[in-house]
Structure 1
Amino acid sequence: MEKMFCYQCQETAKGEGCILKGVCGKDFITSNSMDLLIYSVQGISVLTTKIRERKSVYNLDAINTFVRDALFCTITNANFDDSSIKERITESLKIRKDLIDFCTSNNISFPQVSQITWNGEEKDYDKIATTVGILSEENEDVRSLTQLTIYGLKGMAAYAEHAARLGYKDEDIDQFMQRAMHDITLGTLSINELIALVLETGSVGVKTMALLDKANTESYGNPELTEVNIGVRNNPAILISGHDLKDMEELLAQTEGTGVDVYTHSEMLPANYYPKFKKYKHFVGNYGNAWWQQREEFSSFNGPILFTTNCIVPPLNNASYKDKVFTTNSTGYPGFKYINEDANGKKDFSEIIKLAKKCPAPTQIEEGNIVGGFAHHQVLQLADKVVDAVKSGAIKKFVVMAGCDGRVKGRSYYTEFAEMLPNDTVILTAGCAKYRYNKLPLGDIGGIPRVLDAGQCNDSYSLAVIAMKLQEVFGLQDINELPIVYNIAWYEQKAVIVLLALLSLGVKNIHLGPSLPAFISPNVLKVLVENFGIGGISEVEEDMKAWIA
């Protein structure tokens, strides 16, 4: 029987690992191909690290781009197209050969690890891939720490990729990602050194999120308090999902004056908060909820859908919308049309616009408004008001409920938890986890909404900035002295880098749910509990008494 092994997401089978087919929908061939791609990128990373150590002159910009994309396309629910993964493997072998030739001609020695020495044609990839998977590392704790780092790097690569598409790059970030894979590949790090690498990954994760925050805000303005329409208009429309704001900008510009409206879906909701996008009168608002509800919502939307990043849910065979889905960047799905960028990094969305004009207007599934736009700049403008509310006792506690949403029934916990919170608590959120409670009538505290939405998962940086500012304002020595509870839902690898970033900032007592990661071994979990107070969740009433009362 053909097998795979993947345990990188929260929904992994039995909480242990998918071995026949991914719960996400990817088959064993695609999963194993992703393993081989990461394996090959590890070889590239060893070579680039040796070149950097020698301070040799070699333009690594294109390789940096390739590595970011290779990591990004293996994130959960991003790419199901085995052929596109194998194309990347073939490209990785060409890149590796050029690097080997350069090292050889410049007397740069490199280790003869199998990540560098393996070879084969595309017809051989499936067989080779079965030998290089996660379980090829037999030591459970080493495997746990290396995968924790790699999953953090995947999330980091996603954020770095978004920033790079806006022209913001940092060689130090790319250098670290490749050096971390170099260190993992050589297999010489002790357990303590692997733990240090995990924390360093978190530290560089903070830097990466800060870079993306700069890229987004300098390009589109600081997110601002915004009421977002969740109803529809009677025009044909395009639904854009994912995280990439550059694609959002280009789609809005190309649809202006065409009679086609644009709506956001899932993680693209925060695009509504940016001032530059508000000038487009055909930008209507947000349609629907979190990613996992897309099968129903895409059907009722009626028009075409553009995926700029994860999260794709494989459509059912009879899905009415499956011929209307387009992908771009690191995403892919067999049968979905792919939008490439030209030599100048621009994309032509005319085919999507032409299709939209032939489609009925979206079917209304709800109406009203939701409020968001509370990234760090907006919240710090309200700092005096927030501080006064804390000092007066009107706000007794902040609860960080950032992260991801997902399909498992246990995630209803987060809706119940939000509903049960006392009226003197404020929720700080970012990521699609907010769809569990952002439409609840939770009210406000002296004009401060009780749900402060900072934006996408990568905007979790804002939550860290807000916490550090409050620490400064209240003159506290330790960030953990703040009246903040961390109750974070996770699903995929971008949540992993957010977690590691918080740990690197010294944040303790973070609660993860709805289940703890399968890739955390018992011994590694013990270290996280002893040093950082990492824990899970239980029943809503019990957690409310323990954390809030």
Structure 2
Amino acid sequence: MFCVQCEQTIRTPAGNGCSYAQGMCGKTAETSDLQDLLIAALQGLSAWAAKAREYGIINHDVDNFAPRAFFSTLTNVNFDSPRIVGYASDAIAMREALKAQCLSVDTNAHCDNPMAELQLISDDLGELQRQAAEFTPNKDKAAIGENILGLRLLCLYGLKGAAAYMEHAHVLGQYDNDIYAQYHKIMAWLGTWPADMNALLECAMEIGQMNFKVMSILDAGETSKYGHPTPTQVNVKATEGKCILISGHDLKDLYNLLEQTEGTGVNVYTHGEMLPAHGYPQLRKFRHLVGNYGSGWQNQQVEFARFPGPIVMTSNCIIDPTVGSYDDRIWTRSIVGWPGVSHLEGDDFGRLSPRRSRWRASRTAKSRISSPSVLAVRPCSAQPIR
């Protein structure tokens, strides 16, 4: 295991990075290694997606899947090893289908990328973890040095941020072929383990410019669906009644939850990065969106344990729910995962059951936003690498 992508990472005089049985975020060495393997598989998929574009072949399923699966490797998103392997298997299957399409156009089609023919050696997690050692980000650190390794990781993590925004924009119906082409080109190139400092610096700058374009389509998706956000007062006290808490960045999930719970007597509270949702007119119009609960993501094990209803995580940041003993009432959505936690597929939130979960009017939420409770809404929600 080697992971240095977040602010929680272990820092010692000998160097930075989580490289033990478990990272500071709670990610196990197994999951971390399998995420490295998934990234390698996605680099191979992007290599063939870039090649396919040379033949005029654009596969929207691939364009949808690739950044979405890459998003799952961001900090505090998916800790579920079997699902990570499932993404890797899907990536390879899509790559082979794309390769076949290219060969149907040109029998000499070839992709010169070390990840282009990657295959999983087994279905066994232990065997796959051993295979993943080949793709540990710092495997050649002694040969390339700290600067090249750091630049590679800067590019990789910057592209993850873009992938997260691309996924959020895509679920809102936003798609830009040029952005996806650029994503595949960069992802494939990173799969060649580049070691030229100037090229890596140029790549980092390109990713930064790309992120502006992705943020633009995300903003278009959010404002076209939910209106332009305005500074809004947000209640931070408990409201009597049944309740559901929703966290993360996915405004569409929040909208669907509000639509499906309207008129049922269930109050919906936002948490964490979902706070800006209160500024959007088409979300604020729901009277049962009653407030925001809790503080920073890092306090959730205490605050979620106090919340009496179901909790939905739509993106990062999830941390171990067994610590607060609320793992039986927390649900993951989309790319989010935690071993043993119930996962919601699709847009139906009917499986959530707040029947036994009530707050009394006299009870005040113990965790609240710093006063005054005014939200200065940004055009689009933040997606920091933690």
Distance 2:265 2:194 in 1: 60
Counterpart of 1:230 (choices 218, 229, 236) is 236
Which amino acid in 2 is paired with 1:11? Q
1:7 matched to which residue of 2? Answer: 4
> How does 1:362-441 map onto structure 2 within 5 Å?
364-365=365-366, 370-375=373-378
2:328 matched to which residue of 1? Answer: 323
Distance 1:288 1:357 in 2: 22
1:199 matched to which residue of 2? Answer: 205
Q: Does 1:64 align with 2:57?
A: no
TM-score normalized by structure 2?
0.91
- Conservation of the 8 A alpha-carbon contact between 1:173 and 1:204: yes
DSSP 3-state at the match of 2:117:
helix
1:177 matched to which residue of 2? Answer: 183
Which amino acid in 1 is paired with 2:310? P
> How does 1:228-267 map onto structure 2 within 5 Å?
228-267=234-273
| Cα displacement string for residues 153-177 of structure 1 (whole angstroms, at most 9, x for unaligned residues) | 1111111111110101111111111
Distance 1:158 1:263 in 2: 23
User: 1:119, CA displacement in angstroms?
Assistant: 4.0
2:345 matched to which residue of 1? Answer: 340
DSSP 3-state at the match of 1:239:
strand
User: 1:210, CA displacement in angstroms?
Assistant: 1.2
Distance 2:29 2:109 in 1: 38
1:76 matched to which residue of 2? Answer: 75
For structure 2, list consecutive stretches of 5 or more residues without a partner in the other structure.
none
Which amino acid in 2 is paired with 1:7? V
> How does 1:372-521 map onto structure 2 within 5 Å?
372-375=375-378, 456-458=381-383, 491-492=385-386
TM-score normalized by structure 1?
0.65
Which amino acid in 1 is paired with 2:95? R
Q: Does 1:218 align with 2:219?
A: no
| Cα displacement string for residues 299-333 of structure 1 (whole angstroms, at most 9, x for unaligned residues) | 1111010000000011235x332100001111000
Distance 1:112 1:274 in 2: 44
User: 1:457, CA displacement in angstroms?
Assistant: 1.2
1:37 matched to which residue of 2? Answer: 38
2:88 matched to which residue of 1? Answer: 89
Deviates more, 1:112-121 or 1:226-235: 112-121
| Cα displacement string for residues 384-417 of structure 1 (whole angstroms, at most 9, x for unaligned residues) | xxxxxxxxxxxxxxxxxxxxxxxxxxxxxxxxxx
User: 1:491, CA displacement in angstroms?
Assistant: 5.0
1:485 matched to which residue of 2? Answer: none
Deviates more, 1:56-65 or 1:152-161: 56-65
Stretches of 4+ moved more than 4 A in 1?
A: 366-369
Distance 1:64 1:491 in 2: 22
Change (3 A) 1:200 1:491: closer
1:304 matched to which residue of 2? Answer: 310
Distance 2:325 2:198 in 1: 52
More helix by share: 1
User: 1:189, CA displacement in angstroms?
Assistant: 6.3
Change (3 A) 1:113 1:289: same
2:152 matched to which residue of 1? Answer: 146
Which amino acid in 2 is paired with 1:24? C
Counterpart of 1:358 (choices 356, 359, 372) is 356
User: 1:230, CA displacement in angstroms?
Assistant: 0.5
For structure 1, list consecutive stretches of 5 or more residues without a partner in the other structure.
342-346, 377-454, 459-489, 493-549
Greater Rg over alpha carbons, structure: 1
- Conservation of the 8 A alpha-carbon contact between 1:263 and 1:284: yes
Q: Percent same amino acid at aligned positions?
A: 36
| Cα displacement string for residues 213-251 of structure 1 (whole angstroms, at most 9, x for unaligned residues) | 111111101111211110111111000000000001000
Query: Which of 1 and 2 has higher RCO (CA within 8 Å, sep 6+)?
Result: 2
Matched length: 370
When the two chains are superposed, the root-mean-square deviation of aligned CA atoms in Å is 1.8
- Conservation of the 8 A alpha-carbon contact between 1:230 and 1:369: no
| Cα displacement string for residues 80-112 of structure 1 (whole angstroms, at most 9, x for unaligned residues) | 111110111111121122123233332322115
